[in-house]
Each structure stands twice: as C-alpha cells, then as structure tokens.
Chain A
Amino acid sequence: QKEVEQNSGPLSVPEGAIASLNCTYSDRGSQSFFWYRQYSGKSPELIMFIYSNGDKEDGRFTAQLNKASQYVSLLIRDSQPSDSATYLCAVNMFERAKLTFGSGTQLTVLP
C-alpha cells in the first residue's frame, strides 16, 4: 500500500464548476497535510496546508481533513482554465520531517 494515494485522473471539469480532489494516507501518525499545484515543467507551489480535522478555506480553495478516515481533500470552487495543473497531496509526520507525496491528480478545466 502506498503511503499517500491519489486518483491519477485525468479529471476534467467545466469552467465555473467545483473540482474535487481526493487523497488518502496510510500512516495514522501523519500530522500535517499539504496540497501543492504543479504546472508542467515547473516546481510545486503550495496551495494550502491543514492539520486539524474539518475544513479550512482560502479563497476558492477548501481543504478538508478527516483523520479517522485518513482522508484529505481539496475543493476548488469556480474552477478556471488557469487551475489546470497537476495537484499533489503531501503529508508529514512531524515538524522538520520530510514530505511524502502522492502521485498527483491531473486536472483540466475546460473553457
């Protein structure tokens, strides 16, 4: 079982729709959870991080964490073509620890 699993996609949504990206992790000791966006040929950029159960909202993005189910998701509201990218889920065990990445979900927002 992979430590961090994501649906590889591709996921296509029409412009203006809500895109839902999912991630599960295997280690119950994981403490912090990150969503990164990566455009083709570029390095990842942080979108959000979350470490408490529940929802965390930042603009059009909402991260949801359920530690009991070992599940973290990212919702993108009012999706734009510029959101088309690969979204990477990452977790770590504690501060200063390495990040473990999922395989990424490729999102395409259709104009």
Chain B
Amino acid sequence: SQQGEEDPQALSIQEGENATMNCSYKTSINNLQWYRQNSGRGLVHLILIRSNEREKHSGRLRVTLDTSKKSSSLLITASRAADTASYFCATDAGGTYKYIFGTGTRLKVLA
C-alpha cells in the first residue's frame, strides 16, 4: 500500500478561498515533501519539511508536520485558478534512498 495517503481525493473551491490538503504516512521519516502536478506534466517540488520541523512557509503555502500522528497538511491561502492541479505528498520511507508518493489530491479552483 502507499506510504502516503492524501485526503481529500478531490477538492473544489472558489478563487480566493483557502485550500487544505492532508497527508498521512505509516513509517518513520526524515523528511516529507509536497509536489504539484499539472495535468499531463511532470511533478514540481513545492516544499520540504524535515522531521524535526513542525511548520514551514513558502509564499502562499503553509505546511505542517505532526510526527506523532504521522500526518502533514498543506494549506494554500488565497487560491487562484492557476493553483488548479494535483498535489502529492512524498516521504523518504525512513531515510532510505527511495521516496514513496501518496495518491494525490485533485484541486480545482473556480474563477
């Protein structure tokens, strides 16, 4: 099964609203990352948060990490139509060389 599971699977909001996506994982990690994928394209890295960090910001993005609950959340504030994409979390599976991706959240921002 997937190391990461995103929730919700799909999210539709109006432009200007905030979007929150959650990710849960199963094993210990060194870091957790969030990626964005526009339809039919490669993934683009958004933010990396290490296991000893609790919160991280990058522009309109805010990521939190709760290692005790093995969960993370991605908040996109003041969403724009251009934020429409799929968002994935990925973990380093306990410090191994491989990254395990979740199933993704499909975000649609309506203008």
Indicate, yes or no, whether A interacts with B: no
Hey, which bits of chain B sit against chain A, CB under 8 A?
none
